[in-house]
Chain A
Amino acid sequence: MPDQIEKTAVGTLDPEPVAAAAPATDREKPRSLWNDAWRELRRNPVFIASALMILFLVTVALWPSLFTSTSPTDCQLAKSRQGAASGHPFGFDLQGCDVYARTIYGARASVTVGVLVTLGVALLGGVLGGLAGYFGGWWDALLSRITDVFFGIPILLGGLVILSVIKGGSIWTVIGFMIALGWPQIARIARGSVITVKQQDYVQAARALGGSTGRILLRHILPNAVAPVIVVATIALGMYISVEATLSYLGVGLKPPTVSWGQDISAAAVQYRNAPHMLLWPAGALSLTVLSFIMLGDAVRDALDPKLR
C-alpha cells in the first residue's frame, strides 16, 4: 500500500478545538456553514468590490453591444496604429481596428475560457485529488499515476501538439484541451490538502462518533481542504487566460471569427515600441479580470475557513 499514512502520537501537537466536530448532530448545520460564509461575505468590502467587477465583466461578455456601437471587425488599415481619436478612445491596432471595441468584445472569449476551464479543472481535479488523498491505498496510487501521465506533459507543448492535431481554434476545443491538461495541478493540491486535513483531530473525532464517509467528506474535509484549491484555482483562472494568449502567440490558440484578448495581446506584443496602446488596453483588461477573480477567491476562502472567522 503506497502512501500509507499513519497518525502518530505527535499529532496532539495540533489540538484543534472541537468546534467543527461538535455540531455533527444538528441537521440544520450543513447548510448553515455555507450560510455563515455567505453572511461573512456580504459584509466584506473586498468581496463586494470584486463581485461587482465580475458582474460587470460578465455583463460585458454577454452583451458587448451595450458598451460600444463599433464593430470589432470593422477595420480600416489606413488608421493602422493611430492613437485615440474622437469615438475611438483607445486608438487603433495594427489592422486599423478599434481597440476599444476589440477590448469589449474580447471579454467574452477570455472570460469564458477562464471561468469554464477553472470550473472544469477545479471540479475534476478537486474531486479526483480529494478522493485520492482521503482514501489512500490503491485508489490513491491509481489516481496519482493517472495524474502523473497528464501532468508529465507540459501544457504549452501539449497545446502545440493537441491543438495542431485537432485543427481546432474554436473556444470549446481550447477549453476542453486546457481542462484535460490543467486538472492534475489541482488534483495534486487537493490531495495534499486532504491528507493534511484528514489527520486533524476534528476529523478523527467525527469518525469516532460514527459519521459516514460521505458526511465526513462533505461536512469536515471539504470545507477545510477547499481553501488551497480555491486559492490556486483563482490564480489559475488568470493563468488560463494568459495561456490562451500564449497559445495564440504560438499560433494554435483561438482563431477568428472569435475575438479574444489573447490574440490581440499576442499581436501587440511585438509592437510594444511602436504602438504601446495596442498592448496596454487588452492587457489591462486581462489584469483587471484576474484581479477581480483573485480578490473574490481570497474573500471566499476567508469566509469558508472557520479558523479565520
Chain B
Amino acid sequence: MGRYVIRRLLQMIPVFVGTTFLIFAMVYALGDPVAAMFGDRAPDPATLARIRAELNLDKPLLQQYLLYMGGIFTGDFGQAFNGQQVTELMGEAFPVTARLTMIAVGIEIVLGITLGLFSGLRRGRLVDTLTLISTLVVISIPVFVIGYLAQYFLAVEWQLVKPSVSSAATFDELIVPAFVLAGLSLAYVTRLTRASVAENLRADYMRTAVAKGLPRRRVIGVHLLRNSLIPVVTFIGTDIGALMGGAIVTERIFNVHGVGYQLYQGLVRGNSPTVVGFVTILVLVFLLANLLVDLLYAVLDPRIRYA
C-alpha cells in the first residue's frame, strides 16, 4: 500500500513536467504580452526591449522554461504584471476556489447521488422523469446563461442573496456560485448513479441480500450503493481538478477572486508566470485527487487490492 502510493507520487513528476511545459509553450505561443501593456498605443521600442529582457521574453522558449522552473524550485513563482508575487496571488486565490469547489463537490455528492439513487430505484416513474428533465435542463443551458439568470433572479429580483461575492468569500456567499458551478457535474453524477444503480439492482447479490431478509435500508445503503458508486467516484475525483480550473465563467459572473479569475486575467494579459503557476498547482491537485480515486476503489470494492 505504502509502496503503491510512493510509486504513484513518483509518477507525478513526469506528468508535472509535461503539463507545465505544455502550458508554458501554449502561453508562449500566445505571443508577446508586453505590447498590450501600452494600451491602444504603439509601444516605445526601447522601453519594450527593457521590459522584455526583464521578463526573460527575449530568450528562446526552452531557456525561458528552464529559468522559470529553476525559479519554482527555489520558491519563486515570478510576478504578475501589476507587480504582485504569483505566490501571493495563489495564497489569496486558492483558498477561495477550494471553498467554492468543496461546496460544489458536496452538492454533487449529496444531491447528485440522492437523486440518482431515487431515479435509479424508480426507473420510468415520475421521480425518474422529473430528474431526467431537470438534469437535462441543466446540461443543455450553457453555464454563463444559468449564471446570469441565477444572479438576476436570486439577487436582484427576489433579493435572496447578494449578486456578487465579497472579497472575504465566505461559505454562505459561495452557495449560489457553487450551485452554478456544480450544475453540469451534478447532472452527470445523477445520471451516472442512476445508470449504475439500475444495473446493480438486477445483480444476484441484491437478490441474495433481499432473500436473506436484510432490511431494505441496509440492502440499498450497503450492497447497492457501495457497488454502484465506483463510476461515480471516478467521475467526482476527476471533476475536482476540472471544477477548480473550470470556474473561469462562474467566478467571473459572481466576481469571485479565485483561481479562475486569476487564470483568466493572466491569460488575457499573456502573463505566463501567473498562468503556469496556477495550472501547476491545479495539476497537482488533480493528480492527488486521481490518486484518491484509485485508493477509494479499494475502499468501495474489497475485491480490488493494491500491492
**B-binding residues in A (CB < 8 A):** 1-8, 10-11, 13-17, 141, 145, 148-149, 151-158, 160-162, 164-165, 184-185, 188-189, 192-193, 195-196, 199, 227-228, 231-232, 235, 238-239, 241-243, 245-246, 249-250, 262, 265-266, 269-270, 272-273, 279, 283, 286-287, 289-291, 294, 301, 305, 307-308
Contacts and interface: CB of A to CB of B under 8 A. Distances in A.
A14 B204 contact: yes
A192 B234 contact: yes
Contacts, number: 201
B286 A151 contact: yes
Contacts of A235: 139, 187-188, 191
B224 to A, nearest CB: 13
A29 B139 CA distance: 38
Nearest to B302: A10
Interface of A is mostly: helix
A105 to B, nearest CB: 19
Contact of B204 (A6, A15, A152): A15
Interface string B234-264: 1100100110111011000000000000011
18 contacts: A2-B7, A8-B302, A14-B203, A151-B238, A152-B19, A156-B249, A160-B264, A228-B192, A232-B188, A238-B136, A242-B141, A269-B142, A286-B140, A287-B137, A290-B136, A291-B140, A308-B199, A308-B202
Contacts of B196: 228
Interface stretch (B8-16, B56-64, B71-79, B88-96): B8-16
Contact of B205 (A1, A14, A286): A14
Interface in B155-194: 184, 187-188, 191-192
Contact of A145 (B11, B140, B282, B301): B11
Nearest to B283: A152
Nearest to B147: A269
A153 B205 contact: no
Contact of B202 (A151, A161, A307): A307
A129 to B, nearest CB: 10
Interface string B22-61: 1100110110000000000000000000000000000000
Contacts of B231: 189, 192-193, 196, 228
A2 B8 contact: yes
B104 interface: no
A17 to B, nearest CB: 7
**Chain B interface size, under 10 / 10 to 19 / 20 to 34 / 35 or more:** 35 or more
Interface in B265-280: 267, 275, 279
B29 A279 contact: no
A165 B29 contact: yes
B211 interface: no
B110 interface: no
B221 interface: no
Nearest to A2: B7
B148 A152 contact: no
B23 A153 contact: yes
Contact of B245 (A154, A162, A301): A154
B230 A152 contact: no
B203 A307 contact: yes
A2 B11 contact: yes
A231 B187 CA distance: 12
Contacts of A289: 140
A4 B306 contact: yes
B303 interface: yes
Contacts of A241: 140
Contacts of A185: 238
B145 A153 contact: no
B249 A199 contact: no
A195 B230 CA distance: 10
B267 A231 contact: no
B238 A4 contact: no
A5 to B, nearest CB: 5
A3 B294 contact: yes
A269 B253 CA distance: 12
A122 to B, nearest CB: 15
Contacts of B198: 308
A5 B152 contact: no
Q: Nearest 10 CB-CB pairs, A to B?
A: A154-B245, A287-B140, A152-B283, A290-B140, A245-B142, A192-B234, A242-B142, A165-B29, A161-B26, A149-B18
A192 B228 CA distance: 12
Contact of A149 (B15, B195, B245, B303): B15
